């Protein structure tokens, strides 16, 4: 276990980072505006399920292999970027609208959850973040893996709270504008642009210098 002082500093630092809007927040807000509050919360659960994958990988050292290999990093990076761009283009073309009209709500929520998982698992920047951030609060003289798990689970719990708050706020705002006849078109372009933008940003992530 990390020391009490290190843990408290970690919580304060993690909360500060999570409260700053980033790609995950943009994704959650875009999903909430486009699909509703429940979809936003489902996306939050998916994103942080993906975070659990990265926490587990960091604890057993797989993430270090990913970061050490420029080729592996690039493969994951471009796969995630391509996925986001494809989803964004489908939104811009309105193809997801027809799919949503023919899908039951429960199925749609499961899809939103799965999509959140895929988006975060295929984000190598999350692996980089944990490898760069967590060691600052770990006692190297104690067992490292349990400390990584404790800090990682704490980060996930804090992220669930902050990202769900963004989803609830975005949902309340969306309800006010959803009555507008222009809303479907605006939503399609906003959410599609967000996805494409996130994909481009992911593709632009600097690779590890090749030796």
**How far from the centroid of its chain's Cα atoms is residue 111's Cα?**
15
Reading the block at residue 178, the tokens are: 């959803």
Query: Which pLDDT value is given to residue 104?
Result: 42
| pTM confidence score | 0.67
Cβ atoms of 137 and 6 closer than 8 Å: yes
Cβ atoms of 100 and 184 closer than 8 Å: no
Q: Model confidence over 43-59: pLDDT tens digits?
A: 999 999 999 998 888 88
Q: Model confidence over 129-166: pLDDT tens digits?
A: 777 777 778 776 777 788 888 999 999 999 999 999 98
Domain limits of the chain?
A: 4-203
Give one word for 36, left, alpha or beta, with left for phi > 0 and alpha for psi -120 to 50.
left
The dihedral sign for the CA sequence 22, 24, 26, 32: negative
Helix (H) or strand (E) holding 134: none
Helix (H) or strand (E) holding 204: none
3-state secondary structure of 16: helix
Residue 92: count other Cβ atoms within 10 Å of its Cβ.
Answer: 16
- Across the chain, which has 211 residues, the per-10-residue mean pLDDT values are 81 83 80 84 93 87 67 70 78 61 57 89 76 74 82 92 90 70 69 75 59 44
């Amino acid at each position: 276990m990390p020391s009490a002082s290190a843990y408290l500093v970690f919580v304060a630092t993690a909360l500060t980072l999570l409260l700053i809007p980033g790609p995950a927040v943009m994704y959650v807000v875009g999903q909430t505006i486009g699909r509703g509050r429940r979809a936003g919360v489902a996306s939050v659960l998916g994103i942080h399920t993906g975070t659990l994958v990265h926490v587990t990988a960091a604890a057993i050292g797989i993430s270090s292999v990913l970061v050490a290999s420029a080729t592996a990093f690039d493969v994951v990076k471009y796969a995630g970027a391509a996925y986001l761009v494809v989803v964004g283009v489908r939104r811009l073309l309105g193809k997801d609208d027809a799919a949503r009209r023919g899908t039951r709500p429960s199925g749609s929520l499961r899809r939103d959850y799965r999509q959140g998982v895929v988006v975060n698992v295929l984000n190598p920047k999350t692996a980089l973040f944990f490898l760069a951030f967590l060691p600052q609060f770990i006692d190297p003289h104690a067992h490292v893996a349990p400390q990584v798990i404790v800090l990682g689970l704490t980060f996930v719990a804090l992220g669930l709270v902050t990202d769900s708050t963004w989803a609830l706020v975005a949902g309340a705002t969306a309800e006010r504008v959803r009555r507008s006849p222009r809303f479907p078109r605006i939503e399609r372009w906003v959410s599609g642009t967000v996805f494409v933008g996130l994909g481009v940003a992911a593709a632009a992530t600097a690779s590890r210098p090749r030796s």
